[in-house]
A and B are shown apart, each in its own frame.
Chain A
């Protein structure tokens, strides 16, 4: 078994994959992230980031989504 650590999506390096544990917050941003499919249990791959480091491009559930870093920081993940 690998190490299990609670970190957020914006800590994940480009090219790596992580599994979503939860999305923090109760505001529309949190709801929208969940509605787009970032629900607990989903495997997310960090595909890349924009030239200035923000936003980041994610791949999960068969499609690609870009969100800002401070939004990615809400997604609690565990390292695979």
Chain B
């Protein structure tokens, strides 16, 4: 950003820190003062985002640093630690602020002054912004601002950020900050406890003294609207119903509104790819650009609608104050699984897609709970698994009831797969919290803030920030991985080997037809496949399948065959499973290619039935045993339910935890569990004669 030369009176910008409790309208104030932040990124070594906005006032540039919301300068969370480090000038790469604006919620002054009086001891010039003043007026809270300022020894400015009231005065106050205020004098505090505890008690005593005569509270008659809303929303019965309705709404919107937007993006990317394909000559470069780079870009941009929608909801719920009520209602249930109430929304959204869910875990301040939530979020069966479930269920699960005639078996299996993810997640979280993450339980101390209208500017900022940080941090890595995978799936290539493979396939089909009985259900498909080989499309599909089988990926599939045999799979299934490790949604299309159907779209009816037929007709090499039996289908579905087959998710886990350890841990434990689950399912299924 370039300022006009005339404004460069004082060269260096003034750095002012914005400090305050959570839920004080600090974000709204930040936006009112400085607009959109100019820097997006993490502080070094931590997962706390740096938020700095620049504005000029009377020719002087001011950098406003939005510190993470904190209740005390005796930090108990990484967020609070960052705030303290910056204020003390101990944060690498961040200058010590020249002054502080302490945001104090006028409706909650006693507790807010706790932090303000602590900040006064830092030796930095300080201004107090008394926010939510309109809310205080409505509640009948009267504050003598002049007297408060006199007693504190620093300027106190009444602010209503949403109306712009006090903003100009605050900017002026920042420029004229000169000397640090005199800290409040505290008594000794009762002995026999740790210093922070003694100080806390002494500090509140001093604050009570200070506020006597400065603040008066005459609540308007009758129960306030806020109290009445709360009575319903936290009620045992009504509260739970409201909660279910809100969660259902959120989930439905993401499931219904996102896909059309995602289709739009896919459509756009396909059109772009087609254009590029026209421009480039056929060959490896074109394949790299179209199938590698553009596919990767499309593959990451396509997540943005889901992320944006989820964060829209979260920002709205957080802005109005509902988020704390939701965590309150769900806490007990989640504590049993070693998590906490705040994990609910991240985990629920992971049912749509784990990526926005994992990003949503930023709302969990407790580092341990946040990490646990991130580690088990991928176990929530995401929407990419659904096509796999639907196709395999439809093809191999018998279409009948189970016990209760009105309950279709297929629905039970489907629900069971979802439930499996949830149960395993609960067990994993419970085990981890008692072993690897064992430690002193951090306090669940959560403010239930007053009900407010969410501010549109703040909400949109949240959405923008989440989407941009995803694209910049995760999106780039996803593209890189797509390129690597493209190479693995397309090389080595040799026309001679492909020809040989296709010829061998023809021989196998003829043999199968010759040796099978007249009423063998596979005959129809084998004759169709044999006939297809004589058409140009059919031959191209067969060649494509052969090329894939001969690629690194295909060879890897053969190589791991001993590992997947116990699961009842043949090497082709192993190949498809391997190919879907980067992105599970490609498994059906990959199966299509491997089984020589070419480029089918399994999500369209025609492609799906063709695939179903082909799978049912698949036989173990050289035998008549069908590959896809019910136990095999079930074991494949269980594998998909429990496996971490999404490179994008692993990338996001890495970015959100700022380390490559956790993605590896996630990948490892989920793959192990998936293998064990698939094994158990297959063995149990064959044992029970399903």
Query: What is the interface of chain A, defined by CB distance below 8 A to chain B?
Result: 23, 26-37, 39-40, 42, 47-48, 50-55, 57, 61-68, 71
Contact = CB atoms under 8 A, between A and B. Distances in A.
B446 A33 contact: no
21 contacts: A23-B197, A28-B440, A30-B197, A32-B72, A32-B445, A35-B72, A36-B71, A37-B114, A50-B328, A50-B329, A50-B332, A51-B237, A51-B239, A51-B332, A52-B333, A55-B328, A63-B449, A63-B450, A64-B447, A66-B446, A68-B444
Contact of A26 (B76, B114, B194, B449): B194
Interface residues of B, number: 46
Contacts of B443: 28-29, 32-33, 67-68, 71
Contacts of A37: 110-111, 114, 204
Contact of B201 (A39, A66, A67, A71): A39
Given A35-B72, A37-B204, A39-B200, A65 B110 contact: no
B240 interface: yes
A33 B76 CA distance: 12
Contacts, number: 126
A70 B448 CA distance: 19
Given A36-B71, A48-B234, A57-B234, A66 B332 contact: no
B518 to A, nearest CB: 63
Given A30-B197, A52-B332, A35 B444 contact: no
B107 interface: yes
Contact of A51 (B108, B240, B442, B445): B240
Nearest to B114: A35
Contacts of A29: 441-443, 445
Given A31-B196, A37-B111, A51-B236, A68 B331 contact: yes
A19 B410 CA distance: 58
A62 B107 contact: yes
Most chain-B Cβ atoms within 10 A of its Cβ — which of A35, A42, A53, A61? A35
Contacts of B484: none
A17 to B, nearest CB: 15
B364 to A, nearest CB: 15
Given A31-B197, A37-B111, A50-B234, A67 B444 contact: yes
B320 to A, nearest CB: 15
A55 B331 contact: yes
A35 B332 contact: no
Contacts of A34: 196-197, 200-201, 204
B193 interface: yes
B448 A66 contact: yes
Contacts of A26: 193-194, 197
A16 to B, nearest CB: 16
B493 interface: no
B108 A63 contact: yes
Nearest to A65: B447
Interface string B319-340: 0000010001101110100000
B274 interface: no
Interface string B398-429: 00000000000000000000000000000000
A68 to B, nearest CB: 5
Contacts of B440: 27-28
B110 A61 contact: yes
A55 B447 contact: no
B88 interface: no
Given A51-B236, A61-B111, A36 B328 contact: no
